[in-house]
Amino acid sequence: MTETRNIVILTGAGLSAESGLATFRGPDGLWEGHRVEDVCTPEALARDPVMVHRFYDARRAALPTVAPNAAHRAIARLDAEWAGELLIVTQNVDDLHERAGAKRMLHMHGELRSALCAECGARQGWEGPMGHRPDCANCAAPGGLRPDIVFFGEMPYEMERIEAALAEADLFVSIGTSGAVYPAAGFVQTARHHGSDTLELNLEPSAGSYFFAETRLGPATELVPAWVDEVLAGQRG
Ligand code: BJW
């Protein structure tokens, strides 16, 4: 078996569930009875900006009321202590990985604490509400700013960097994601194609569970710290 050196971790809403943030596709799904695929689109923003802004303003406002959980902290510990390459790719738009201390990470679906100019494409840090549709600080486009969120039909961020990391990975680990949304749902197959080992940590089997060499089922706050202990013990040899 290849020695594990390069790790890619993909995280989803299930990682933040035990911090009190709703997932998308459960019975208590985040979009309150709407299918996320119907409302999380550029067309929905154009059709009903008040509703879409209200939704993201409320989620941004909720961030200070939640805290990283044991799974976020374990991943941050792995980031600090793992001597090999590591890339944490989160689909989450919350800031709990960063607040736990993770550094080698990226947000492929955008961030609540960021605004995107629909005119010039500039991204800028954002706190507080955006429902009044502020002007862009970069190009001064009136009402140009929108939530910096990757909607359906839009290209996720940093795909080249992710694909490069997957091509070099010895171990791909997917945590707390349903495998319902592409391109993230296809990462396991890309990793396998390049010869990586694959592990899924989730409450229940994801849509692509059969692509993983191993699946462990349970809450992230139990599975992730145990897995990180295991990986770091292996590193110590
Ligand atoms: C626990 C737990 C606990 C619970 N412990 N686990 C037809 C076929 C294939 C693809 C397409 C198609 N038609 C269109 C597409 C493409 C489309 C797509 O995938 N659509 C699907 C509906 C089929 N994708 C896109 O449009 C993407 N862009 C794109 O493809 O661009 C073109 C491209 C081409 C080539 C290369 C690259 C790109 C953009 C997708 C944008 C997704 N945006 C959202 C919203 C973000 C903002 C927001 O937060 O509001 O991202 S949608 C939503 O889903 C959010 C999430 O990041 C994403 C994934 O959800 P996630 O994280 O998996 O959450 P859940 O709720 O689904 O699952 C939670 C899991 O946790 C469950 O499994 C639970 O069991 C588990 N869990 N508690 C451990 N305690």
Q: How far apart are CA 17 and CA 28, in angstroms?
A: 11
The atom of ligand 1 lying closest to the CA of 37 is: 22
The pTM is what? 0.96
**HSE-CB of 214 using CA atoms within 13 angstroms:** 11
pLDDT value for 72: 98
Which residue in 121, 180, 176 sits closest to 146, CA to CA?
121
Q: Is the CB of 181 inside a 6 Å radius of any atom of ligand 1?
A: yes
Q: How far apart are CA 15 and CA 23, in angstroms?
A: 9
The atom of ligand 1 lying closest to the CA of 108 is: 57
Q: Is the CB of 39 inside a 6 Å radius of any atom of ligand 1?
A: no
Q: Is the CB of 152 inside a 6 Å radius of any atom of ligand 1?
A: yes
Specify whether the CB–CB gap between 9 and 76 falls below 8 A: no
pLDDT tens per residue across all 237 residues of the chain: 468 899 999 999 999 999 999 898 776 666 656 666 666 889 988 888 888 888 899 999 999 999 999 999 999 999 999 999 999 999 999 999 999 999 999 999 999 999 999 999 999 999 999 988 899 999 999 988 999 999 999 999 999 999 999 999 999 999 999 999 999 999 999 999 999 999 999 999 999 999 999 999 999 999 999 999 999 999 977
